[in-house]
Each structure stands twice: as C-alpha cells, then as structure tokens.
Structure 1
C-alpha cells in the first residue's frame, strides 16, 4: 500500500494498519520531494514519490490510502482507480455528491475496491451499538453530538486562516467532524426525508458550528457539531422502551441503556486495537477478496448529498462546486 498525505492522520493510519497481517507500506507520497523522503524515513516505507503519475504507475503497488485535503480526494482517487489501484479515502469522501457519484462509477468501471475511511463505523463500539439498538424499541429521536475545539482556531482568531477553515480546500465543521454524526445516522436509519441546517459561518466561508435536523418517517434526528467550541455531551437514541446513551459518537467506549421501566445497563467496549485498525482491516480484507458489497458506497453518496443540503442552507460554497456539470 501507498499513502498520500504526510500529516498526523496518515501516521495514525499507518501505525494502526501495521496491526493487520497483510499490510505492507510500499510507498509514501508528497508533492514536496524532501518531505516525501523524510516521511518515508520516518515511517519505514520502501520508497517515496513526489509525482502522482509515477506513484500510480508503480506495478508493485496495489492500493492507496488518501489523506490529502478534501478538495483533492476526488481527482486523486479517480486517477488511482483508473490505474487499477484499490483506494481507501479518508473522510469526508470528497467535496460533494456529484464527485461521490463519479468515484463510485469509476470503482465499478475498473473493478476495484473503493472505501471511505469513517473510523467510527468499523469499531467494536459501533457493532455493539447496532446490537443494542433494538433494546430501545421503536425509535423516535436521535441526538448525536461532536464538539471539539480546533487547535487551529486560535490561529484563525489571530488572523491566520489555516487549511481547516479554508473553503478552497472543502473544509469546515460539517466536512471535518460533522460526518462522524451523519454517517452513523445514515447507517442506522437510512436516508432522511428532509434535512435542515442552521449554524455559524466564519468570515473565511466555512461553518464553524452547525445544527442539523434530519426528519424520517416516525422519528427525528439532530446532529450537532462544532470546531469552535467544546462539549462532553453524550449522544443518545430515544425509543418507546428506553434511551441508549453513547459516551462519544466518534470513539465509543461506553454504552448505557436506560429503560422506561427497570434498571440501567452499561457495557464497556472491549476494543483491542486503535480505532483505525478496524477500517484498515475491513479495507484490506475487501482487497484480498475483491468484495465490495460491505463497503457501503450508497451510504457514502447519501452522506455527501446531506452535506450538500447542509451547506446550501448555510450558504457555504466550495471551489469544487464550481466544477459541477
């Protein structure tokens, strides 16, 4: 496998993936040759590249992990798949639904594995959540929280706009951390009938915090997230038989079910590996079998549709949107 991107999340993925027997770090890529060479030395990669065509033309390479800025996901992923490479792309998948649809079509055309790396969907915590969900009975409401003050916001307040707050790179709260709320909602409850959003848009043009109301047949859901405030509020799923509390939606460690009648139950998640290990294992397993049925392409496309609607309500426009045809 090769990696695109030299930031902390790429390092975290490599460290986690090394726990999977079939993983081998063949190469790393950066636009800057010196940075690529240094990152290869740091991670123990077999080689390094500063040219994408050369990377994708490497016959010894079978798969690529993409963790570049979101703006470049679609172009890089499509090119890799056109060269016959399997691709795991860091969340969010891309900038908008049109790009997502094109990527899925490209994966189907070239018969390769293509997966969005949404780490909280592959963990034992999420599996336990799915197993415990029937306890609440008929679901009437879900509220998923994720507010994490960005270390880059201090620089923003001092007049320096770093990548995390640049619309030119398809960033912002919805794209960075909102998807950790939207993806579990999509996986558990499917596509909502209606999506409405409100929030605070920064002067740079991206959302700093957003509240989303998603309406379903017989239930409603709220996704509340922020990069400019912090909160320890748990998430919850309310049903007619009780409420299921989730300590943190992006890194589940404890679940508590409080029935309408009876005593609460709590489970501590028995997780043996880092969160990203599980997405890496799912991807590598799919590559070994060339099985794409478990990669949830439809969910990825639907979440990008929801982010499009959210940004429309907020008035957030990306440069990538201008390329739609």
Structure 2
C-alpha cells in the first residue's frame, strides 16, 4: 500500500479517506491542520499516527508518499507547490488554481520531479462514465446538451443573515462557478472538446462572489448550456438531446441515475446511484494506478492533465466575462 496524508478536515476529506481505505491500496499515516488540537482530533478519528501544522514539515516526512488536499481554494497553489517540490504525489480538490498559469507551473514542476499531480474530479474516474458515453453514442447527432449542478448552499441562510461564509467570500477564491460550475465544465470539455466560443452571465452577490451562473458554449453542430447555482435547488438536472433519443443524468457530479429515452417513447434505466465514499474511492484507485503503473496508465493520466489545463483556462476566461475577480488575479 501507498501512504498518504490529508490537508483539510471537512466532510469531503472524510469521504476521500473512507474511499481510499476501502480501495485497499492506501494507508492514512498523517493529517495536516493549522490547529494542532483539531489535527490531533482528526488524526484520532481516522487512525493517523502523525499530525503536522506546517506544510514544509509535512513535505519532508518520509512516511508520506502522497497528499490529498482539500483546503480552501486560495491555499491550493502554495501547498501543491511545496509538496511537489519535495517529491510528493499530489491529488488536489477542484479547482486546482484560480489562474491557468499557476496550473501550468505546477504541472511542469510535477513533470520535473517525476511525480503525479491530479485534480480530484470524480467524473474522470467513475466507471459509469463509460455507461454515459456508450449511451451518448446511441442517440444520434447531439444538438443540445444541458448540464446542471444547482444545489442550495447549506451556508445560504447565514449569508442572508449578514454573515460571509467561506463559500461566498472571493478572498478564498470561491463562489458558485469555482465550487459547482467546475463540475459542469469538466464533462462538457471532455465529451465535446473546446467550443468555438462561449458566453457567461451570473448573479453577483454583494461580496463580489457569484451566486449562480449560466454558460452557453457554441460548437459547429450543437449548443451546450451549463447552469450552476448555490442559491437554489435544481429540478431539471442534466440531459443530452440527440435526434434518436435523449440521455438523462440526475447528478452530473456523481453520474447518478442515468437513463436513456428512445424516440419511440420507451425508457431504459442504465445506472443507479453509489455512496459518496465509493465514488471518491475510484479517484483514489486511479491516483494509485497512475503512480504505480505509469506506463500502462500514461494515456489516461495525460488526458487528465490536459483536461485540467483546459478547465483552468476556461474558468479563468469565464470569470473575466463575469467580472468575478480575486486578489491573486494579475491586473489587466
């Protein structure tokens, strides 16, 4: 087994740890927290023997092969840089960085150090992606795709009461696009490639963060709309419309409940729903495979890296159109 450490102590880290352990390929040896007491409590919760409050010290630890990062977006670049420089493999939660140039820099650093650097996006690693792609091949020419991730934030009520939760604070490089929109961008670019052009609009909050948005991507033969929101809950979900049928996906982030509607009116249920930790376990399995089987997995890993660069460029241009700026953005 490979040994890993975590940065971040939220529910998403809990699920990743569960999935990684469940894979039988990973052993949790260390956790990082800025607060030692919190770190020790988290280590005890998950059975890690080491606790770090300094990323540089974690990077020097010989009992850690790889690190899963789920810290606030604004911390990703520096934490990834320090760990990659020390020769650690890194899987970092989306989005990797607010600026594409920083992603390119980290990708280059990982190549120089001979380590794996992966964006943690479930869509790219789920076996049911093959089910989706096979179904798309059965519906003829796709003229329209509507990809949706609208989920009312658990922090919205406190925001409406006058507080500024992290998710609505641009100082942490967050907002609806960077939190949920990225889950829509990934399948669009993976399935259809880069668009000829796209337009973006959003509902901007008083903090400067975007609360909800719509992106329209134009291709020679199709339109792809991405809808994402932290302000309300989706009802329509995702669909891909072809002249021979339509593929419905209830959750594009988890690829849950995939159905195929045929033009004769009949419907097939193609895939159901998995537990969250199982979904994240597929990320952990591929991360392991890219490290341990570099030749066999070269093509798959290269595609993940290329797509993460495309996504970073797309998100940065989308933010430019939306007028959503972060302190780390260079002045035009």
Q: TM over 0.5: same fold?
A: yes
What is the alpha-carbon distance in structure 1 between the residues aligned to residue 189 and residue 331 of structure 2? 27
CA-to-aligned-CA distance 1:254-295 (integer Å, 9 cap, x gap): 222222346332213375862111111111111112345323
- Which SS does the other structure have where 1:26 is aligned? strand
Check conservation: 1:196, 1:309, Cα contact below 8 A. Answer: no
Match of 1:313 in 2: 321
What is the alpha-carbon distance in structure 2 between the residues aligned to residue 152 and residue 264 of structure 1? 37
Task: Count the aligned residue pairs.
Answer: 324
**What is the TM-score normalised by the length of structure 2?**
0.93
Given candidates 176, 184, 189, the residue that maps to 2:187 is 184
Deviation at 1:25, TM superposition (A): 0.3
Match of 1:281 in 2: 285
Change (3 A) 1:262 1:153: closer
Q: Please say which of residues 38-47 and 289-298 is displaced more in the overlay.
A: 289-298
**1:66-215 alignment to 2 at 5 Å?**
66-215=69-218
- Which SS does the other structure have where 2:87 is aligned? coil
Match of 1:250 in 2: 253
CA-to-aligned-CA distance 1:3-37 (integer Å, 9 cap, x gap): 01111111111011111112000100011111111
Structure 1 residue 293 and structure 2 residue 299: aligned? Answer: yes
Check conservation: 2:91, 2:119, Cα contact below 8 A. Answer: yes
CA-to-aligned-CA distance 1:25-75 (integer Å, 9 cap, x gap): 010001111111111111111211001111000112110000000111111
Q: Please say which of residues 91-100 and 167-176 is displaced more in the overlay.
A: 91-100
CA-to-aligned-CA distance 1:180-207 (integer Å, 9 cap, x gap): 1110111111111212101101011110
What is the alpha-carbon distance in structure 2 between the residues aligned to residue 68 and residue 280 of structure 1? 17
What is the alpha-carbon distance in structure 2 between the residues aligned to residue 136 and residue 112 of structure 1? 40
CA-to-aligned-CA distance 1:116-142 (integer Å, 9 cap, x gap): 111133223322101211011122111
Give the unaligned 5+ runs of structure 2.
none
Check conservation: 2:29, 2:50, Cα contact below 8 A. Answer: yes
Check conservation: 2:116, 2:290, Cα contact below 8 A. Answer: yes
Change (3 A) 1:84 1:292: farther
Match of 1:51 in 2: 54
Q: How well do the aligned residues superpose, as a CA RMSD in angstroms? A: 1.7
What is the alpha-carbon distance in structure 2 between the residues aligned to residue 271 and residue 159 of structure 1? 36
Check conservation: 2:257, 2:273, Cα contact below 8 A. Answer: no
Structure 1 residue 23 and structure 2 residue 31: aligned? Answer: no
Deviation at 1:234, TM superposition (A): 2.3
**What is the TM-score normalised by the length of structure 1?**
0.95
